[in-house]
Structure 1
Amino acid sequence: MAGRVPGEGYSPSRRVAAAIALLCLPAAVAAVVWSLVRSPLQLALGLALVVVAVLAAWTALVHHGISRLLATVAAVVALAATTALPEARVVVVLAAVTGLTVLAAAAAKFAIARDLAPATNGHAVGPARHGVLLMNPKSGGGKVVRFGLEQKARELGITPIVLQRGDDLRKLAEQAVADGADVLGMAGGDGSQALTADVARQHGVAFVCVPAGTRNHFALDLGLDRDDVPAALAAFGDAVERRVDLALLGDRVFVNNVSLGVYATVVQSAAYRDAKLATTTQILPELLGPDAPGFDLRFARPDGSHARTADVVLVSNGVYHLNSFAGLGTRTSLEAGVLGVVTLDVDRARDVPALLSAEAAGKPGRFRGYHDWTAREFEIGSGQPLLDVGVDGEALRLPPPLRFRSLPGALRVRTPVDAGAAAAAPPVHSTAAVTALWRVLRDRPVRGPE
């Protein structure tokens, strides 16, 4: 998504998105007001039933046996009662408000996110003299084959290396550099990106990320279009190069994050990849249920206090802007030279309503069990011989202590000249967002004079 072109202004699609965002939120407010005037008691009852259904669903997730059954029944009954309200418009209003809010957020991100993103230190570079692209044909459900990346690479003068069963990715990357590669690329998931980026870092060659994995968080935060995988190959030609941070867990490089606690334990299950929901439902009661022992994770907080447990610990390469407990969000910068640390503690009974309220508001920081800070280095200890750890999505078991360190500006990254500078804008107040949207709609620069 390109920014505003001097002398040409914003694209019609950006201006349309700004108009949609500006119209959706007032429409949602109008729908609520209209329903309150027509059926105030039923709207309040509908909202209460939705809350009951969510709380019951949470209870079902973290319990076994009869408790899970009763909670499931309660959730179903609450939802059925919502749809059975005499005024059907109440259900329609609730659905419409949710849909309008989601649409407004998506349209606003498309319209203004790039203009609010911080500037990067990129500079123009010429084509690679000897570009090599390593490819994992199994990543992302076979994106390498589906997008014909091997043939497209050859057409662009890039040497393709397709991994075969039993190949050692690090050795192949090392050999490519030894054979003269000045630009090293990887088409695969974030774990493969991290390993190849580490080789590029150690040898001082430039790196190209091709988003051929499943989630491609690193590509997203580099400003790449994850839906147009072949477009990333343009970075081997005339491109923009900048230095971005990497991070270390021990001597292992990661590009995104390392997780411990609930998620890291769930993904250890061999059944998780084939049955994510069923596996999570089966394991969650042992992790968050009323009799769960908690996780033995010991670390120091910035205020000098020492924690001995947490339900979730996330250590990231850079700081994520989180608007949900369910997803990582995005990073406004990969050049800050710090680790982002997030911890979450949930009291099994008392904290659920507050947790759900913070989630619904898109402001996890309001939850009292949520803590975040930045650090150059961070350490986690434990009395356990091995800890379940998720490193860039890969499930591992590692002995404590776990030592993390930021590597500021360690990697030379090339991106296509038309790629975005960053994937996310820093958080802004609602009034600032409305002002920015209004300026885009009027084809005025978001930053700078009228």
Structure 2
Amino acid sequence: MDLDAEGRTASPSPPPPRARRRAAAAVALVALLAAVVVVAASLVQNPWRFLLALVLVVIAVLAGWTALVNRGGRRIAATAVALLALVGIVLLLISSVAQVAVLIGLVILSTATARVALGHDLVPAPAGTRSVGPARRGVLLMNPWSGGGKVERFALEDEARRRGVTPIVLRRGDDLRKLAEHAAEQGADVIGMAGGDGSQALVADVARQHDLPFVCVPAGTRNHFALDLGLDRDDVRAALDAYGPAVERRIDLALLGDRVFVNNASLGVYANVVRSDAYRDAKLATTAQLLPDMLGPTAKGFDLRFTGPDGAESSSADVVLISNGVYRLDTLGGFGTRQRMDAGILGVVTVTVDRARDIPALASAEATGRIAQFRGYREWTTPEFAVDSADELVAVGVDGEALALPPPLVFRSLPGALRVRTPVDAPGASPAAAAPPGIGSTVHALVRVLAGRPAR
């Protein structure tokens, strides 16, 4: 790692790619071209099969969504249509299994070699990153129930002690904030959390208030915060290396009222689904049960009032997502990832559905990963955002935790509020930061690498 005189990472131009990366770029481009040839040949030989498969996919998606937002006879009929369409797709695939297998193999080969070829050339160095020495009195709080018991599975308590870090394991009835406050008051110079994103936010808030460096250990279920910090979520123990020689930078946090969150808060459809007691044990069944009441033909919609990017007042939306930083969204299901968390802004996304005519278009946009092209989709950035409602309580999902809060709900960004430490050899970039924005940019970057130049 290149550092300047003050210990911060410098940002020189990436060095010319070595022979291995240039070879990988060549393979990636050839495999991509071969995949295009396979598709073109299939179209020439059997154009009807491709068109029929496309029609069946559209029918399956639309029928599936129709089943989700209706009840009774309409749901049964739509489900039957979706199943028949899926059977047709399977039969078409079986009839051309060799071509499909070759195409899938070429796509996988092109994707894998492209990653090798591009490396991290497309990732901008986070601003203000600096080198730091080992923690002297590091403390790690642990939630033993998070992520299906990852704390025990990865022996994090023993791993922490081996690194000279004091482990504090939550017990039933413990107050996590009080434990974190006590650790800070007793002289911890680095404090961390092994658990889900809700717990990460709470301990990060304590670190913010005491201006202590924070360590994120991805011991939760989804670990979206760790992903966007550039950590390897599958290597839980490696995150503990941040207590040794590490890199540190400042990132933003976000507030809902006086509650800190690290990822996002959602209102509308998603917030009401996750609020159900049955959701955690039966996600699909619960969603199927509740969606007709929220997006069905007779659903009344949500009373969510806010000011849009043009200054106009909006009286309703079906999905409102407020994020700590801007998400790159392809679908609403996974909430995407963030290229950076140090811009001092909230990302706001709203989706409004006209139940009489928009469900097919929404289903198509969601299925093809082009949700931003749906006509009821809007996104913008702002340092502060407020949502009002006539409802006594508004359902809100905050970092995956279901809450019901009285309006108005006021969100704001806390720029540079948190000092975060990450291991020196961590991947260091979120998927949104590492990936080119589209296939055209990817091909251009690969051509540059093949020619012996940096990807950007």
Equivalent-residue separation in structure 1 for 2:158 and 2:422 (angstroms): 20
List per-residue Cα deviations over 1:369-410 (Å, max 9, x = no partner).
110000000000001000111000001111110000000000
More deviation, 33-42/76-85: 76-85
Determine the structure 2 residue equivalent to 1:313. 320
Output the amino acid matched with 1:118: P
Determine the structure 2 residue equivalent to 1:115. 121
List per-residue Cα deviations over 1:59-98 (Å, max 9, x = no partner).
1111111100000111112222334459922x76568657
State which of 427, 431, 443 in structure 2 corresponds to 1:434.
Answer: 443
Asked whether 1:323 is paired with 2:330, we answer yes
State which of 233, 236, 245 in structure 2 corresponds to 1:226.
Answer: 233
Residues 87, 390 of structure 1: alpha-carbon distance in 2 compared, 3 angstrom cutoff: closer
Residues 384, 111 of structure 1: alpha-carbon distance in 2 compared, 3 angstrom cutoff: farther
List per-residue Cα deviations over 1:320-341 (Å, max 9, x = no partner).
1112222111111010000000
Asked whether 1:421 is paired with 2:424, we answer no
Equivalent-residue separation in structure 1 for 2:309 and 2:93 (angstroms): 53
Output the amino acid matched with 1:112: L
Asked whether 1:81 is paired with 2:88, we answer yes
Asked whether 1:179 is paired with 2:175, we answer no
Residues 101, 123 of structure 1: alpha-carbon distance in 2 compared, 3 angstrom cutoff: same
Whether the 8 Å CA contact 2:275–2:402 is kept in 1: the answer is yes
- Measured after TM superposition, the shift of residue 443 of structure 1 is 6.1
State which of 162, 166, 173 in structure 2 corresponds to 1:166.
Answer: 173
Contiguous gaps of at least 5 residues in structure 1? none
- Give 1:42-441 correspondences, 5 Å limit: 42-84=49-91, 88-89=95-96, 104=110, 108=114, 112=118, 114-120=120-126, 121-423=128-430, 424-425=432-433, 428-440=437-449
List per-residue Cα deviations over 1:252-282 (Å, max 9, x = no partner).
0000000011111001111111111111111
- Measured after TM superposition, the shift of residue 24 of structure 1 is 4.4
Equivalent-residue separation in structure 1 for 2:328 and 2:93 (angstroms): 41
Residues 206, 160 of structure 1: alpha-carbon distance in 2 compared, 3 angstrom cutoff: same
Equivalent-residue separation in structure 1 for 2:291 and 2:19 (angstroms): 46
Residues 46, 73 of structure 1: alpha-carbon distance in 2 compared, 3 angstrom cutoff: same
Output the amino acid matched with 2:386: E
- Measured after TM superposition, the shift of residue 39 of structure 1 is 1.3
- Measured after TM superposition, the shift of residue 415 of structure 1 is 0.6
Equivalent-residue separation in structure 2 for 1:269 and 1:98 (angstroms): 39
Whether the 8 Å CA contact 2:16–2:452 is kept in 1: the answer is no
Whether the 8 Å CA contact 2:253–2:418 is kept in 1: the answer is yes
Output the amino acid matched with 1:60: A
> Sequence identity of aligned pairs in percent?
64
List per-residue Cα deviations over 1:28-84 (Å, max 9, x = no partner).
322221122111123212211121111111111111111000001111122223344
Output the amino acid matched with 1:369: G
Output the amino acid matched with 2:42: S
Task: Spell out structure 1 runs of 4+ moving beyond 6 A.
Answer: 3-8, 14-17
Residues 19, 344 of structure 1: alpha-carbon distance in 2 compared, 3 angstrom cutoff: farther
Asked whether 1:446 is paired with 2:431, we answer no
Residues 350, 15 of structure 1: alpha-carbon distance in 2 compared, 3 angstrom cutoff: farther
What is the SS of the residue equivalent to 2:147?
A: helix
Contiguous gaps of at least 5 residues in structure 2? 1-10
What is the SS of the residue equivalent to 1:383?
A: coil
- Measured after TM superposition, the shift of residue 10 of structure 1 is 6.0
Whether the 8 Å CA contact 2:63–2:82 is kept in 1: the answer is yes
What is the SS of the residue equivalent to 2:386?
A: strand
- Measured after TM superposition, the shift of residue 304 of structure 1 is 1.2
Whether the 8 Å CA contact 2:58–2:364 is kept in 1: the answer is no
Q: How many residues align?
A: 443
Determine the structure 1 residue equivalent to 2:5. none
What is the SS of the residue equivalent to 1:389?
A: strand
Output the amino acid matched with 1:197: A
Equivalent-residue separation in structure 1 for 2:112 and 2:385 (angstroms): 34
Residues 408, 295 of structure 1: alpha-carbon distance in 2 compared, 3 angstrom cutoff: same
- Measured after TM superposition, the shift of residue 420 of structure 1 is 3.2
TM-score norm. by structure 2 comes to 0.90
Residues 21, 7 of structure 1: alpha-carbon distance in 2 compared, 3 angstrom cutoff: closer
What is the SS of the residue equivalent to 1:186?
A: strand
- Measured after TM superposition, the shift of residue 105 of structure 1 is 5.4
Whether the 8 Å CA contact 2:117–2:446 is kept in 1: the answer is yes
Residues 11, 227 of structure 1: alpha-carbon distance in 2 compared, 3 angstrom cutoff: farther
Output the amino acid matched with 2:441: A
What is the SS of the residue equivalent to 1:116?
A: coil
Residues 98, 6 of structure 1: alpha-carbon distance in 2 compared, 3 angstrom cutoff: closer
Equivalent-residue separation in structure 2 for 1:282 and 1:174 (angstroms): 42
Whether the 8 Å CA contact 1:42–1:87 is kept in 2: the answer is no
Output the amino acid matched with 2:360: P
Equivalent-residue separation in structure 2 for 1:149 and 1:312 (angstroms): 38
Determine the structure 2 residue equivalent to 1:22. 29
